[in-house]
Structure 1
Amino acid sequence: MKFKNENDIMKYTEKISNKLNELLVKNYDAEKGYLNAAENVDSSTLKIFFKRRATERSEFAKEIRTEILRYGEDPKDSGSFKGTAHRNWMSLKSLFSSNDEEAILEEAIRGEEASLEEYNEILEDKTLPPSIDNMLIKQRDAIQAAINTEKVHEELVS
């Protein structure tokens, strides 16, 4: 990619970090959603599954934070989305009181499918550096694998 001046480089790095910050917040969101889900199901298998997903999303967030810092930009912190618009993961809260494991799993799948869409949208941008592209593909594929596993769990629960 060719840049005419330093201003173009700054715009490019800012554009990349803005996209990465969106994913960073989404991963914080998913991690919290999975931790809440783990606390609100009785099945030990589902508890372990949700905790693993939360850990995975925490790792994704760390990788994304590192890339944002590498570009000299500021990563958003995990509290930055508290007052933002309703997200798929937050609708899990109403399900927790009913302790409906199948419904919690369905909502987790919806949340992951929304994350998958965001990853795919960002990956459509052909200006990402290969290192970021590869990291995002690896994360997206892990999310897809989690969705597939969640669907299997959903069939077992129902």
Structure 2
Amino acid sequence: MSNLDTITLLNRLIVTTKNGEAALRAAASEVHHAELQESLEEYSRFFADAARELQASVEALGGKPKGSGTFDNTLHRTWLHIKASAYGRDEAVILDTVEADEQEADARYSDALTWSTPPEIHALLERQYEGTHQRHDHIRQLRQQLEHAA
């Protein structure tokens, strides 16, 4: 795989992580259970750190890293806020949106791991992929606890 291909792949993941960061921060602002809010905020910070690591890797390869997410994600976050308001900040509705976003991130990372990247990049991608899974599982567990408590 060429450096250009690796840079392109990493820039796609930067956009994914920046979108994830913003969407999780938006979701955290809409939930009312403190533990869930903190978990979403922590997950958002994880994606912010992941984006910075990916950006540094792009720079190390001589590329120009993406700096932000997509306009579509801005619309998506706006829709999340409207939907949350319309449903009385129903955390299940908010978490449905988070769940869909996480499936997209999982798919992007899963695809990235099939590429023949340099060993240090592959190790970074594996670590970030595992981090997303751990946090996603934690959010899922919290969701189940909230559903059983209701």
Q: 1:51 to 1:121 in 2, by over 3 A?
A: same
Contact 2:23 2:73 in 1 (8 A): no
Shift of 1:93: 3.4
**What is the alpha-carbon distance in structure 2 between the residues aligned to residue 147 and residue 90 of structure 1?**
22
Question: Who is 2:146 aligned against?
Answer: 157
**What is the alpha-carbon distance in structure 2 between the residues aligned to residue 60 and residue 87 of structure 1?**
23
Match of 1:128 among 117, 132, 141: 117
**What is the alpha-carbon distance in structure 2 between the residues aligned to residue 150 and residue 143 of structure 1?**
11
Q: List structure 1 segments (4+ residues) > 4 angstroms apart after TM superposition.
A: 84-91
Contact 1:35 1:51 in 2 (8 A): yes
Question: Who is 1:95 aligned against?
Answer: 83
SS at the partner of 1:73?
A: coil
Shift of 1:86: 8.5
Question: Who is 2:128 aligned against?
Answer: 139
Question: Who is 2:7 aligned against?
Answer: 17
Structure possessing the higher radius of gyration over alpha carbons:
1
Shift of 1:39: 0.9
1:122-148 Cα distance to aligned partner (Å, 9 max, x none):
1111x2000000000000011111121
Question: Who is 2:42 aligned against?
Answer: 52
SS at the partner of 1:103?
A: helix
More RCO (CA 8 Å, sep 6+): 2
Consecutive unaligned residues in structure 2, runs of 5 or more: none
Shift of 1:95: 2.8
TM-score, normalised via structure 1 length: 0.84
SS at the partner of 2:31?
A: coil
Deviates more, 1:61-70 or 1:109-118: 109-118
1:60-98 Cα distance to aligned partner (Å, 9 max, x none):
0010000000011101111x622x488876753343212
Q: 1:141 to 1:72 in 2, by over 3 A?
A: same
SS at the partner of 1:55?
A: helix
Q: Work out the percentage of aligned pairs sharing the same amino acid.
A: 21
Does 1:117 find its partner at 2:110? no
Root mean square deviation of aligned Cα: 2.0
